[in-house]
């Protein structure tokens, strides 16, 4: 067996009553790609933070390249050749690539000399690893995939031979993700060791040599990737068998319940975010809107639900017009049968400091059943919340608990139960499973299909292509504010990926 | 990245933390007293004795507290909506005009118990009106309410000086103040209340508006935690995005909240104008509007915290006056320093001791609840 790049022995970490890492021992051989997978809160990030010096373990030992290492700060980690690519990039947006790369590693008092040195070093790195990027480009002008490349270069520039990547594909198109995997393989061939943290089973299968599964702070298994299956990993993550495929019958599409014509939305700076978008949503079908984050989906959702004013466009809800450019407001749309599960659960869909029962009526708090004269009938609100808690298996089953204390999956169930139990005609759903654990994803998907089968019209916006493909009856692809294509649910990932990258559109323009 | 923490029980959150903050504020204040060359322990004894030692002193303390309850509630209601109303001072000042107009008109006709409700309405109405303009500017024009309410304090001061000197002053008088109200414009004192507890009170300004303040505190609790309007106010205060999502009209909720806040600040004027001086005089608010900010911060915007916090500041005011009288090295400004320290520790540094306390509770921790403080970082 090859030498270990990193060896963790009995790492244990508690935050108060929370046991984040339970005596974890792990050996990562040098020159391999090692996946770490687990649900939210399983302790993956804590473990990597300990390795990178953000936290110190309460107990246990870290060996880097066979030597015991005391890693108290990230600079200790960097000094030992450990580099980290964060999920949210740590780049200065108005600096050039080169300036970002030397930031914190300038080395000399005068920038001019260190920049010159850095430039030749950067050129060597780009050549060796196939990581082309213009050193003089402003980071803000680069697409997300290239920004990520800058992060990788930054770590390599500091001499990293062990790279930790935290959920690296969350912001990438499928093509960009594939490109990243090619880069990772090349880095491996050059002898680097790579640790990949992810919750996407497919990525683990595609690129890793070994995979470790974490559950509730403990490392439950390490497998050779080519000796395991997606099903086994999912079961290890959740601790029970998980249905990964969504079972659904054919859609019985009915009347058009939501009809959007020529909708245009601008942001606060006057930039067009949604550009002349038209589509129909019928009873009994799920229409998925695919696209890389930031291509106007958020603005589309907010405009259709009355949260953001549209510049122009006509909209019919259940046969009656809605004035999205003026008078429409969310309360009114709710009364007319539109329910909305927003993308931004933490700031929009929930008020985190509220107790659970208060969130269970958000947007519906003016209904008569919650009123007792001028007062809010707190008992009725709590009883109502408890009913939904039991029906949707929200845990812990305590309507008086602060919402912030629920896990991501349970928070999302609070929002879903509130919106679905209103028996809406049209359900608008944004990123229903973002930050939600595998077990809850299964439940949420099943619920969405149920809604469809009950004859609701469901509009689903998600950046998870798998989710769009497995749930939708029709798929619309959004790119740069426009709908650039419509496909049925049989569309291949490659086909959709090209549309999401705007390829077809560019060809048409030529 | 997950940052787990232990949730504190309510008594620690609302009781222990303010007490710790207060203790630290007094400790630092003690150092300042030491620096001035006086004995901090003796100063503390004089202060406490001067505020609580005799029936007379208690009556004064509660008189000051009455004003602070009103202004504290005013600031708290706005806080719940995410608005920082610094204009309590001006709203109370203009509220005084409402009290005076009612009293001047009816004091010869009605007994006090008929004038009182009218005066309450008058003070609330004018206080709310004074808060309306900044509220409107915030809601419709996006002018920051902190700036506009501060400005309106100055405008209120100038306006009131103009009115008192040119309009309301009796022709024969030299002082810029209204005539003294007749009996129908004077609130009864509450000396009997303290005497019922066995204290003797010679003459003190504590009056029935103290009871009104307690009632207002209860009603504010009902409003914020038991009505749909209060629910909407809190939603907007915690998350403007969630409020928009829930269909709570932003302009409407800002304006309504500020009207309530201004009305509460305006009602503060009842206490000095109708309860004590029995006339409208220049500068009768004397900083109570600003003390309200400290009271609301310290009381964590909850009526059950605001009433004790207001009494605490009443103690500082009354005891501080005694202290300045007894100790030549200490002036009234010392009290302002202590107030400042309380605001610093109870408000600005509110969370300074929280992590340590949470760690302490967590280590005992069977009842503590783990939570994801930040949005997940992929863990």
* Cα gap B101→B13, rounded to integer Å: 44
Report CB contact under 8 Å: A358, B231: yes
Token couple for B241: 């995005």
- Look at chain A and count its residues: 510
Report CB contact under 8 Å: B2, A87: no
- Could you state, in order of their start, the residue ranges of all structural domains in chain B? 1-38+327-379, 58-324
B371 versus B254: the higher-pLDDT residue is B254
Compare CB distances from A362 to B7, B246, B378 and report the shortest one's residue.
B246
What residues of B are in contact with residue A43 (Cβ under 8 Å)? 379
- For B369, nearest residue in chain A (alpha carbons): A405
Kindly report which listed range (A185-199, B4-18, B348-362) carries the lowest average pLDDT score: B4-18
What pLDDT, in 10s, does the model give residues A249-281? 888 889 999 999 999 999 877 889 999 999 999
What pLDDT, in 10s, does the model give residues B147-178? 999 999 999 999 999 999 999 998 888 888 99
Angle, CA A325 vertex, CA A324 and CA A327 arms, to 5°: 70
Q: How confident is the prediction for chain B on average, in pLDDT?
A: 88
Q: Are A145 and A168 in contact (CB under 8 A)?
A: no
Ramachandran region, residue A224 (left: φ > 0; alpha: ψ -120 to 50; beta: rest): beta
What pLDDT, in 10s, does the model give residues B175-187? 889 999 999 999 9
Closest CA to A96 of A13, A153, A161: A153
Range 209-268 of A in CB contact (< 8 A) with B: none
Q: What is the b/e burial string over A215-248, where b = at least 16 CB atoms within 10 angstroms of the residue's CB?
A: bebbbebbbebeebeeeebbbbbbeeebeeebeb
Express as a percent the part of chain B with pLDDT over 90: 64
A127 has a chain B CB within 8 A of its CB: no
Closest CA to A334 of A257, A425, A415: A425
B239 has a chain A CB within 8 A of its CB: yes
Compare CB distances from A307 to B230, B244, B363 and report the shortest one's residue.
B244
Angle, CA A356 vertex, CA A46 and CA A218 arms, to 5°: 25
A340: distance to nearest CA of chain B, Å?
9
A474: distance to nearest CA of chain B, Å?
27
Residue for token digits 């709908």? A483
Q: Are A435 and A408 in contact (CB under 8 A)?
A: yes
B362: distance to nearest CA of chain A, Å?
5
Token couple for A71: 């890693």
What residues of A are in contact with residue B242 (Cβ under 8 Å)? 347-351, 362
- The pLDDT value recorded for residue B335 is 75
Q: 3-class DSSP state for residue B334? A: helix
What residues of A are in contact with residue B241 (Cβ under 8 Å)? 344, 347-348
What pLDDT, in 10s, does the model give residues A294-337? 789 999 999 999 999 999 999 999 999 998 888 788 999 999 99
* Cα gap A25→A32, rounded to integer Å: 17
Range 119-138 of B in CB contact (< 8 A) with A: none
B10 has a chain A CB within 8 A of its CB: no
B369 has a chain A CB within 8 A of its CB: yes
Residue A505 Cα to chain centre, angstroms: 26
Compare CB distances from B241 to A347, A363, A365 and report the shortest one's residue.
A347
Closest CA to B33 of B323, B322, B364: B323
A166 has a chain B CB within 8 A of its CB: yes
| Res B232 pLDDT > 70 | yes
Range 301-360 of A in CB contact (< 8 A) with B: 305-307, 329-332, 334, 340, 342, 344, 346-354, 358
Report CB contact under 8 Å: B245, A18: no
A24: distance to nearest CA of chain B, Å?
15
Report CB contact under 8 Å: A351, B238: yes
* Cα gap A372→A53, rounded to integer Å: 55
- For A376, nearest residue in chain B (alpha carbons): B227
Q: Give the confidence band of B338 by pLDDT, cuts at 50, 70, 90.
A: confident
Report CB contact under 8 Å: A329, B247: yes
Report CB contact under 8 Å: B247, A40: no
Range 408-437 of A in CB contact (< 8 A) with B: 408, 435
What pLDDT, in 10s, does the model give residues B257-275? 999 999 999 999 999 999 9
State the Rg of chain A over Cα. Answer: 25
What residues of A are in contact with residue B378 (Cβ under 8 Å)? 44-45, 87, 166-167, 170, 197-199
Highest mean pLDDT among A58-67, A396-405, B229-238, B357-366: B229-238
Residues lower than pLDDT 50 in chain A: 1, 506, 508-510
- The pLDDT value recorded for residue B6 is 52
A160: distance to nearest CA of chain B, Å?
22
Which CATH code is given to the segment(s) B58-324?
1.10.3470
A2 has a chain B CB within 8 A of its CB: no
- The pLDDT value recorded for residue B133 is 96
Token couple for A457: 């019209």
Closest CA to B276 of B59, B125, B55: B59
Q: Give the confidence band of B373 by pLDDT, cuts at 50, 70, 90.
A: very low
B173 has a chain A CB within 8 A of its CB: no
- The pLDDT value recorded for residue B122 is 97
Q: Are A361 and A379 in contact (CB under 8 A)?
A: no
Write phi, then psi, for A263 (nearest 5 degrees). -80, 125
* Cα gap B377→B379, rounded to integer Å: 6
What residues of A are in contact with residue B358 (Cβ under 8 Å)? 16
What pLDDT, in 10s, does the model give residues A434-466? 877 777 888 999 999 999 999 999 999 998 888
Strand partners, A274: A265
Q: Give the confidence band of B204 by pLDDT, cuts at 50, 70, 90.
A: confident
- The pLDDT value recorded for residue B358 is 77
Residue for token digits 């974890």? A24
| Res B368 pLDDT > 50 | no
| Res B376 pLDDT > 50 | no
Compare CB distances from A348 to B2, B242, B366 and report the shortest one's residue.
B242
Q: Are A480 and A275 in contact (CB under 8 A)?
A: yes
- For B363, nearest residue in chain A (alpha carbons): A16
| Res B92 pLDDT > 90 | yes
Report CB contact under 8 Å: A353, B238: yes
ipTM over 0.95: no
What residues of B are in contact with residue A347 (Cβ under 8 Å)? 239, 241-242
- For A374, nearest residue in chain B (alpha carbons): B227
What residue ranges define each of the domains in chain A, with the CATH number in brackets? 4-238 (3.40.50.300), 256-354+407-509 (3.40.50.300)
- The pLDDT value recorded for residue B377 is 34
User: For chain B, where are the E strands, in sequence order?
Assistant: none
**Could you tell me how many CB contacts below 8 A there are between chain A and chain B?**
142
A54 has a chain B CB within 8 A of its CB: yes
| Res B367 pLDDT > 70 | no
């Amino acid at each position: 067996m090859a030498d270990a790049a990193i060896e963790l022995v009995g790492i244990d970490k508690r935050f108060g009553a929370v046991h984040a890492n339970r005596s974890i021992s792990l050996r990562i051989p040098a020159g391999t790609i090692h996946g770490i997978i687990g649900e939210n809160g399983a302790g993956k990030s804590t473990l990597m933070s300990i390795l990178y010096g953000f936290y110190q373990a309460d107990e246990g030992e870290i060996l880097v390249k066979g030597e015991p290492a005391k890693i108290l700060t990230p600079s200790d980690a960097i000094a030992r050749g450990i580099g980290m690519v964060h999920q949210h990039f740590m780049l200065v947006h108005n600096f050039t690539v080169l300036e970002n790369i030397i930031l914190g590693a300038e080395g000399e008092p005068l920038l001019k000399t260190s920049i010159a040195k850095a430039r030749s070093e950067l050129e060597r790195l780009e050549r060796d690893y196939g990581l082309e990027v213009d050193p003089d480009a402003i980071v803000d002008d680069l697409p997300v995939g290239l920004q990520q490349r800058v992060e990788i270069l930054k770590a390599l520039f500091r001499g990293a031979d062990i790279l930790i990547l935290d959920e690296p594909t969350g912001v990438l198109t499928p093509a960009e993700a594939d490109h990243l995997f090619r880069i990772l393989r090349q880095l491996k061939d050059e002898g680097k060791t790579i640790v990949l943290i992810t919750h996407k089973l497919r990525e683990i299968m595609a690129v890793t040599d070994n995979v470790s599964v974490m559950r509730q702070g403990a490392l439950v298994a390490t497998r050779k990737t080519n000796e395991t299956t997606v099903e086994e990993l999912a079961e290890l993550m959740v601790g029970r068998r998980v249905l990964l495929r969504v079972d659904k019958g054919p859609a019985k599409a009915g009347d058009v319940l939501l009809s959007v014509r020529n909708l245009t939305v601008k942001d606060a700076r006057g930039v067009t975010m949604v550009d002349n978008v038209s589509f129909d949503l019928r009873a009994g079908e799920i229409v998925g809107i695919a696209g890389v984050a930031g291509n106007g989906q958020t603005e589309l959702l907010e405009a259709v639900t009355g949260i953001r004013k549209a510049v122009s466009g006509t909209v019919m809800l259940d046969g009656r017009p809605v004035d999205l450019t003026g008078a429409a407001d969310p309360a009114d749309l709710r009364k007319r049968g539109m329910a909305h599960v927003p993308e931004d659960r933490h700031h929009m869909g929930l008020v985190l400091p509220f107790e659970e029962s208060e969130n269970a009526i958000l947007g519906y708090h003016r209904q008569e059943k919650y009123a007792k004269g001028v007062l809010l009938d707190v008992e009725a609100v709590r009883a109502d919340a408890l009913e939904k808690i039991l029906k949707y298996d929200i845990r812990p089953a305590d309507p008086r608990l602060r919402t912030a204390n629920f896990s991501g999956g349970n928070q999302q169930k609070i929002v879903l139960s509130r919106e679905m139990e209103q028996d809406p005609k049209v359900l608008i759903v944004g990123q229903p499973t973002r930050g939600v654990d595998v077990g809850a994803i299964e439940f949420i998907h099943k619920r969405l299909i149920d809604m469809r089968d009950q004859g609701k019209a469901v509009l689903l916006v998600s950046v998870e292509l798998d989710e769009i493909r497995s749930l939708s009856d029709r798929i619309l692809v959004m790119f740069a504010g426009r709908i650039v294509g419509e496909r049925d649910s049989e569309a291949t990932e490659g086909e959709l990926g090209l549309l999401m990258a705007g390829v077809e559109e560019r060809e048409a323009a030529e | 990245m997950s940052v787990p923490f232990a949730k504190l029980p309510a008594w620690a959150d609302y009781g222990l933390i303010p007490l710790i903050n207060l203790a630290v504020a007094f400790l630092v204040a003690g150092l300042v007293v030491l620096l001035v060359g006086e004995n901090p322990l003796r100063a503390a004894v004089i202060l406490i004795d001067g505020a609580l030692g005799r029936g007379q002193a208690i009556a004064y303390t509660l008189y000051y507290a009455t004003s602070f309850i009103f202004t504290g509630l005013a600031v708290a209601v706005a806080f719940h909506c995410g608005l920082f109303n610094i204009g309590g001072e001006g709203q109370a000042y203009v509220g005084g005009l409402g009290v005076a107009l009612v009293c001047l008109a009816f004091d010869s006709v009605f007994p006090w118990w008929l004038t009182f409700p009218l005066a309450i309405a008058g003070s609330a109405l004018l206080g709310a009106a004074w808060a309306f303009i900044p509220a409107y500017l915030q809601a419709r024009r996006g002018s920051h309410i902190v700036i506009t309410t501060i400005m309106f304090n100055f405008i209120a001061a100038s306006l009131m000086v103009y009115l008192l000197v040119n309009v309301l002053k009796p022709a024969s008088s030299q002082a810029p103040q209204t005539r003294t109200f007749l009996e129908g414009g004077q609130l009864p004192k509450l000396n009997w209340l303290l005497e019922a507890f066995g204290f003797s009170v010679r003459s003190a300004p504590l009056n029935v508006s103290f009871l009104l303040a307690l009632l207002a505190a209860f009603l504010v609790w009902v409003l914020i935690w038991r009505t749909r309007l209060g629910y909407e106010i809190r939603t907007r205060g915690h998350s403007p995005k969630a409020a928009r999502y829930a269909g709570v009209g932003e302009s409407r909720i800002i304006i309504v909240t500020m009207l309530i806040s201004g009305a509460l600040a305006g009602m503060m004027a009842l206490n000095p104008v109708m309860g004590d001086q029995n006339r409208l005089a220049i500068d009768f608010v004397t900083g109570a509007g600003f003390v309200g900010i400290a009271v609301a911060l310290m009381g964590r915007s909850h009526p059950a915290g605001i009433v004790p916090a207001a009494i605490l500041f009443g103690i500082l005011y009354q005891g501080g006056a005694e202290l300045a009288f007894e100790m030549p090295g200490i002036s009234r400004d010392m009290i302002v320093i202590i107030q400042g320290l309380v605001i610093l520790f109870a408000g600005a540094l509110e969370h300074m001791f929280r992590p340590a306390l949470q760690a302490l509770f967590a280590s005992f921790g069977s009842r503590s609840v783990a939570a994801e403080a930040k949005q997940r970082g992929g863990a």
